Amino acid sequence: MISVVLLGAGNVATHLFKAFKTNSDVSVIQWYNRTLNSITSYQNEVAITDNINHLADADVYILAVSDDAIARLSSKIPYEDKLVVHISGSINVYDLDKKHKRGVLYPLQTFSKEATIDFTEVPICIETIDKACYPILKTLAKALGGPTKRVNSNQRRVLHLAAVYVNNFTNQLYRIGHEITESEGAEFDLLKPLILETAKKIQNMSPYMAQTGPAKRHDKKTISAHLKLLKNEQHKDIYNLLTDSIQKTHGS
């Protein structure tokens, strides 16, 4: 069994703890956070601490903290030559303190504490400096239940960048769509089947082939009508930018 100390109490840390505690191959023996308030509700399930100097001796230390805190926190771990990993999509594995064996366990998914996550559907991207550490991280990733993929730093960075486009930016477009429907008392819920079908289509075809709509058709009349409906200048800028991007992608 692999013993784990979990550091951090954000969205990903919480979901990782819940997933690991049900697996017989992994034991989270301690949970650290700089303030205990966020993890006191778990004190009957795992040892908790807010003192970095009191970390337990473990096989793996998982830093599920903000990107800015990774380097500093890894340097404070009171052990050397231990396997220390972060879960970030964008931070270099070499940002971890060199006194450790270093790696990355990057779950490519969006996490909210309030939303249930099925880890069997979450790709886990693995990166290590020392090849001997890979089997340990592979075991941790498989314990979560989803597909695993070995990646290098450049691949991980572009996956994270692409994730911002397909998740964060897309969600912002959902928000704009919500604002637009609310402006006339229309129901945003009526768009949800369309949202699901759009995501479903790219499971079997490329995003290029799945594209539809007035921009691809160069339907100037509809585009002009849409722009007249938009009262928010920022929404107009986004509409024009994306229309231009689609037209450049698909030609005339």
Q: Which strands sit side by side in the sheet containing 47-49, from one edge to the other? A: 47-49, 26-32, 2-7, 60-63, 83-86, 101-107, 124-128, 148-150
Name the strand (E) or helix (H) holding 75: helix 70-76
Domains of the chain (ranges; CATH) run 2-151 (3.40.50.720), 156-250 (1.10.1040.20)
| The pair of three-digit structure tokens given for residue 106, joined into one six-digit string | 């990057």
Three-state SS across 87-139?
A: CCCCCCHHHCCCCCEEEEEEECCCCCCCCCCCHHHCCEEEEECCHHHHHHHHH
Q: What is the pLDDT of residue 252?
A: 64
CA distance 250 to 217: 9
Q: CB–CB of 191/182 below 8 Å?
A: no
Looking at residue 1, its amino acid is M
- What does the pLDDT profile of the chain (252 residues) look like in tens digits? 899 999 999 889 998 998 898 888 899 999 999 999 989 999 999 999 999 999 999 999 999 999 999 999 999 999 999 999 999 999 999 999 999 999 999 999 888 777 788 888 899 999 999 989 999 999 999 998 889 999 999 999 999 999 999 999 999 999 999 999 999 999 999 999 999 999 999 999 999 999 999 999 999 999 999 999 999 999 999 999 999 999 999 986
pTM: 0.87
Q: What is the pLDDT of residue 231?
A: 92
CB 96 within 8 A of CB 76: no
Lookup: tokens for 64: 């599920």
What backbone torsions phi and psi does residue 28 show, to the nearest 5 degrees?
-80, 105
Backbone angles phi, psi at 86, to 5 degrees: -115, 170
pLDDT score for 212: 95
